[in-house]
Amino acid sequence: MKRFTRLFVIATFALSIPLARLDAQTPAAATPATKAHVTALASDRLDGRLTGSNGERLAADYLVAQLKRIGARPVPGATDYRLPFDFTAGMRDGGSRLTVSASVERSGGNGVSATASGGAFTAQQDVRALSFSDNGEASGPIVFAGYGIVVPDSQTFGYDSYATLDVKDKIVLVLRYFPEDADQKTKGILARYADPRYKAMAARQRGARAVIFVTGPSSPNAGETMPMTFDTAIAGSGIVAASISARVAGVIFATLDDPAKTLATAQKALDSANPHVAGFDIPNATVTIRTRVERERKTGHNVAAYLPATKAPGSLPKPWIALGAHYDHLGHGENGNSLADKADAGKIHFGADDNASGSAAVLAAGEALSKVSRRRNVLIEFWSGEELGLLGSAAYVNAPPVPIDQIAAYFNFDMVGRMQDNKLTVQATGSSDSWGRLIEQANVPAGFDLLLQADPYQPTDVSSFNQAGVPSLNFFTGTHTDYHRPSDTADKINYEDLDRVVAFASSIARRVGDADQAPAFVKVQPQTEGAGRAGVRVFTGTIPDYSTEVKGLLLSGVIEGGPAAQAGLQKGDVLVEIAGQTIANIYDYTYALEVLKIGEPTKVVYLRGAERKETAMTPAARK
């Protein structure tokens, strides 16, 4: 891939400080300031820097050593540079069990009936809890609900696996995936609603006691139980959910005592996606399913320090600025977010660009700022758990060592090491009206081809600070084919341009650090909130909290003037029901948005403290 490079000369960058002092530290011919940091963080020894792992600990040790070297101190109130937070690191099946009791009456020659017993299954190749299952036991008659897919009325394609079925207080058996022989357009529609969580929610909403999945003989991974994929949700989905093998399904179907009714024939009838092909009761079988999901809790560590101001701040408002980047990566890709092909599966994911490059940029910017006078204190921060859902930065802003409202600005660096054709993306520019002028001034000598994006709701740690009301910027040089693969290695980083990004961002940070007035925060309406899995452009104005353990959807805030705010919802409320659908977690909320209609009021049930309350919310269209 062709990359544009240019000679890095720090003296060309406009800082509101005597530039000769910085020039002396980084002469044009010097080795790039960031190279040693990227090489260390993306080394074999750090093993991919998975949150909570020994590799993360070694990476934190390196960052702490560098912070000490430049004279940065632990944040106020802390004696260590490491700030711990707990998180869900994974899950495993703790011993699930399924029993089939069959009462098939067969008349013998003497007119006496006989009862057949189906048997019990405990091996994980026969029964395995799904990662989002509640822990519990359910027993009841069983209903085969086909693919278990329900397409909302808002779509133009009618498909409801439950249209002719009564599953209240029963065990629902559904096929994994979606109809195999459907045309491509139909598959595209059905695939949106084939996620196991969505199917489980559909069964739960119709009163089922449990849902069990089987992979049909015409589908990929035929007959195998489903893996417990990594799921960062702390709570379950509100229903017992498991997958079973073809062997167990065969025992269940055998209770029909009809050789023509098998799992294979049932799937064949459904695979055309004809919406009139229905499921059916399996009247002679009773299933008892017990699931136990053991969620592993671990501790991750942010790393944070600060450079104290060297000038008396006087009445300077908001006497802090912050630089940050996440330093975690994917380990060996074991949590399901790797894009490695089969040949590279299980190898170390080095994460040189994502995000050793950003961490190196923060270290280099921090070192440059440590050598000049400062009117504001400078926070230098590194997040873990970003790859698992912004866990570290979310934990930080929820319990900040420095009051959030005292931070004038936050600058985030994520994937800044693979510049192409001199293009630099600066995101979250809508979070303050001050950014346009400051970016333009800094870019006069820098000469980047800038792409400015106003949206601050980016899938990186800048989003945590934006939701906390801090004017923020995120620096990004673009994606590439090595993203989330073991091939994202240190030798592919464009170090000269990485150092240019550091100098450009440091210029902006320095200007903010010395300004008499802090940038004013502007709340930007999210551009993607409520889009829904089918692309329905519904806007509710809610800002979910992804990191706190709660049954329901905890709001970290609401958009001023949005439907949620107009309905009286506020930060700290826990949504537990929308439009008659129970909300157990963020996934349920996403699916529930599918049934909402723009301009039509819908009932919302929520908890405010210990009080259960109701309100009517009217979703709006995305502008």
Identify whether residues 324 and 417 lie together within a single domain.
yes
Q: What is the pLDDT of residues 404-454, one digit of tens each?
A: 999 999 999 999 999 989 999 999 999 999 999 999 999 999 999 999 999
pLDDT at 546 over 80: no
Identify whether residues 455 and 553 lie together within a single domain.
no
- Contact 284/255 with Cβ under 8 angstroms? yes
* pLDDT mean across residues, the chain: 86
Q: What percent of the chain has pLDDT over 90?
A: 65
pLDDT at 600 over 70: yes
Identify whether residues 353 and 412 lie together within a single domain.
yes
Identify whether residues 457 and 557 lie together within a single domain.
no
Identify whether residues 378 and 255 lie together within a single domain.
no
Poorest-pLDDT segment among 4-13, 15-24, 452-461:
4-13
Q: In this structure, is residue 531 part of a structural domain?
A: no
Q: What's the predicted TM-score (pTM) here?
A: 0.67
Q: Which CATH number belongs to the domain containing residue 613 in this structure?
A: 2.30.42.10
The DSSP annotation for 310-365 comes to SS--TT-SS-EEEEEEE--B-TTTTTS-----GGGTTS----IIIIIIHHHHHHHH
Strands (E), 399-471: 407-413, 423-427, 449-453
pLDDT at 14 over 70: no
Q: Give dist(CA 404, CA 425) in Å, integer.
A: 26
Identify whether residues 37 and 158 lie together within a single domain.
no
Q: Which CATH number belongs to the domain containing residue 351 in this structure?
A: 3.40.630.10
Which of the two residues, 4 and 576, has the higher pLDDT score? 576
Q: In this structure, is residue 145 part of a structural domain?
A: yes
Predicted local confidence at residue 68, as pLDDT: 98
| Residue 460 pLDDT class (50, 70, 90 cuts) | very high
Predicted local confidence at residue 568, as pLDDT: 96
| Number of structural domains in the chain | 3
| Mean pLDDT within 191-204 | 89
| Mean pLDDT within 328-342 | 86
Of 257, 291, 325, which closes a domain?
Answer: 291
Of 291, 309, 339, which closes a domain?
Answer: 291
Q: In this structure, is residue 532 part of a structural domain?
A: no
Predicted local confidence at residue 430, as pLDDT: 96
Domain span at residue 31 reads 10-87+300-514
Predicted local confidence at residue 113, as pLDDT: 29
Predicted local confidence at residue 118, as pLDDT: 53
Q: In this structure, is residue 66 part of a structural domain?
A: yes
pLDDT at 22 over 50: no
Q: In this structure, is residue 533 part of a structural domain?
A: no
Identify whether residues 152 and 267 lie together within a single domain.
yes
Identify whether residues 72 and 195 lie together within a single domain.
no
Predicted local confidence at residue 193, as pLDDT: 85
Predicted local confidence at residue 58, as pLDDT: 98
Exposure on the CB side of residue 618, measured as CA atoms within 13 A: 5
Q: In this structure, is residue 209 part of a structural domain?
A: yes
| Mean pLDDT within 152-164 | 85
Identify whether residues 43 and 151 lie together within a single domain.
no
Q: Which CATH number belongs to the domain containing residue 164 in this structure?
A: 3.50.30.30
Identify whether residues 343 and 455 lie together within a single domain.
yes
Q: Give dist(CA 289, CA 493) in Å, integer.
A: 52
| Residue 609 pLDDT class (50, 70, 90 cuts) | very high
Identify whether residues 76 and 199 lie together within a single domain.
no
| Mean pLDDT within 536-562 | 76
Q: In this structure, is residue 429 part of a structural domain?
A: yes
Identify whether residues 456 and 564 lie together within a single domain.
no
Q: In this structure, is residue 520 part of a structural domain?
A: no
pLDDT at 621 over 80: no
Of 291, 314, 339, which closes a domain?
Answer: 291
Predicted local confidence at residue 109, as pLDDT: 37
Which range is most confident: 110-124, 213-227, 514-528? 213-227
Characterize 521-552 residue by residue with b for buried, 16 or more Cβ atoms within 10 angstroms of its Cβ, and e for exposed: bbebbbeebbbbeeebebbbbbbbbbbeeebb
Which of the two residues, 65 and 543, has the higher pLDDT score? 65
Poorest-pLDDT segment among 175-179, 207-211, 311-315:
311-315
| Mean pLDDT within 337-358 | 92
Beta carbons within 8 Å of 456's beta carbon, 6+ residues apart: 427, 428, 430, 431, 462, 463, 466, 472, 474, 524
